Amino acid sequence: MNPTAENPLRTRADFERAVEDLVEPLYEHASPGGARVRPMTTGAHFPPVAAELEGFARPLWGLVPLSVHGSSEQWDLVRRGLVNGTDPSHEEYWGEADDYTQKHVEMAAIGLGLALTPERIWEPLSEPERERLVRWLNQINDAELHDCNWLFFRVMVNMGLRSVGAAHDWEGTQASLDRLESFYQGEGWYTDGQPGDGSPIDYYLPWAMHFYGLVYAAVCGDEDPERAHRFRERAAEFATEHVHWFDDEGRALPYGRSLTYRFAQAGFWGALAFADLNPLPWGVLRGLWARNIRWWLNQPIFTDGGLLSVGYRYPTLKTSEAYNSPNSPYWATKAFLPLALEPTHPFWQADEEPLPDRPETVVQSEPRKVICRDDDHLFALSLAQDSIYGAEKYGKFAYSATFGFSMAGQNAGLGEAGHDSTLALSLDGDLYKSPAPESVAATEVDGTTLKSLWTPWDDVSVETWLAPALPWHVRVHRLETSRPLHSEEGGFALDRTGDDDPTQFSHETEGATARAAYPNGTSLVTDLRGDRQPEIVPEEPNTNLMHPRTVVPTLQERYDAGEHWLATAVRATPEGPTDFDRTPELVTADSDDRVALETADGDRLLECTAGEIANANRAE
């Protein structure tokens, strides 16, 4: 059941109603005292009390902005829960907030409520109730926090406490802000933590680092104008880069962790408006924000009871993280921050405008990507970034707004390891490795060519060159091994809906090309040297972000010890069965130590020399 199904999501009133409709099914699972929300029994790595606090607090990211100029029927429940959750003598007490606890994350939404809606969340409380709330929140000032975007939770809490004149630690807040600013990389880009410590550039940049910075700039700008100016200036610069991650329908590139937060992807655009910042025209910002929310709320992301599910485009735990509880997806309500603006604000007065004209390819060196925009397909070529969250979320060759990407399944073997948009190697043909960030020894952005050196084992290395050739992209690999290996290389995963009717789909494996075509798209991978065997590989169900059942056109081969060159072209379209015209035709020019890719017209796409990436790494 989609609680927003009848909502056109066009006017401010529509979005106000959407907040209420999204939150109501969740709060129906609130405890009698209102402090705990437990909609189902799946768990996360943290204790149930923290997950149940998530369910109480995360809807506040939407309810607070809604209530700055409007109202909600949920405030009686919220105040009751706030009072009981911070009372050590009550059975629903949230407990002490020790070092690194998830409870610190959820405190931030309460801080926002104190800052923006004190008449809802502070003024109605008695003096003893206020004292207990302040004591509970101030635990964040004595605890150790993860050295990343978590430091902003301390900022949000103290910002709220300061706004109501309650005890707080402003000196510690400024120290946390200084540390957060040390993560800045220039030209609008942050890492989520200290660079080099496994802190990649992903969605935590727009929906955390910039989002909270803009909230701080808007609320505390008068007393900290220099820092507020920096936050605004950086966000404005980033906006002109981040716009390339969205397509005309509102979809964004899926990449990295925490994708179950879904329309939090719109949060950055809303935070720009909240901070009264328009690096893009107001109509463009309004369109980016609204189209993303509309796209999401038109997808099958709800449970039968109208709850936001864990997953991405549909419910599945296989793409989630260990910290995703049933309540975690409600972080998406951060998207509704613009409701805190006056209805007369230019953001709300502007008509939605389409995306501005964008080039076919955009090189973004900081996140190590080349953004590619075909007529009907937005995807990013990508180099691996260091992250504990692994090969699939940070190490694939391509990430598509239409086709998503797939996680490894439970089992070993063909179709079980998420080999779409990657090269995977195996010693036994059963257990495969793909380029996990920790095993990628070197990366380089060279114009529109992405280069990497991967060492899956001590005696095996793979140099890879990756480049756009729109509507295709091409890959060249130089494999050097001292023992026999099996390889699999996949194209984009394709929704296999329609496979119950043989007239609706086709699998073609001819020569060195694998092509799959279904009603929802066509995907093809071809070996430009003609060496590998093509296969259409069904993936384990529920491992792809976009569709529960997918196939991957795949190239397979077994290699003896020695040096081997591989050259691959990949293409996909969301259109139904399509015969690609193979123009421009891609051809290879080989020598013992060099492979070049060029079009049939002689235009050079790639020139790859053995050892160049390894040598560059040694030179560094």
Query: pLDDT of 160-217, one tens digit each?
Result: 999 999 999 999 999 999 999 999 999 999 999 987 666 889 999 999 999 999 999 9
Regions in the chain scoring below 50 on pLDDT: 618-620
pTM above 0.75, yes or no: yes
Separation CA 450–CA 442 (nearest Å):
11
Do 457 and 389 touch, CB atoms closer than 8 A? no
Token couple for 392: 């699939």
Where is 378: in which H helix or E strand? strand 378-382
In sign, the C-alpha dihedral spanning 497, 500, 501, 507 is positive
- The enclosing H or E element of 212 equals helix 211-220
How many other CB atoms are found less than 10 A from the CB of residue 314?
Answer: 17
CA torsion angle 71 77 78 79 (round to 10): 100
Q: Are 402 and 272 in contact (CB under 8 A)?
A: no
Alpha helices in 103-209 (DSSP H): 103-116, 118-121, 127-137, 151-163, 170-181, 204
Q: Where are the alpha helices (DSSP H) in 304-416?
A: 346-349, 391-394
Distance, CA of 222 to CA of 218 (rounded, Å): 8
The secondary structure of residue 349, as a DSSP letter, is H
Place of tokens 């397979």: 556
Q: Which tokens go with 120? A: 């809802």
Beta-bridge mates of residue 513 = 510, 526
How many whole angstroms separate alpha carbon 605 and alpha carbon 470? 11
pLDDT of amino acid 586 = 80
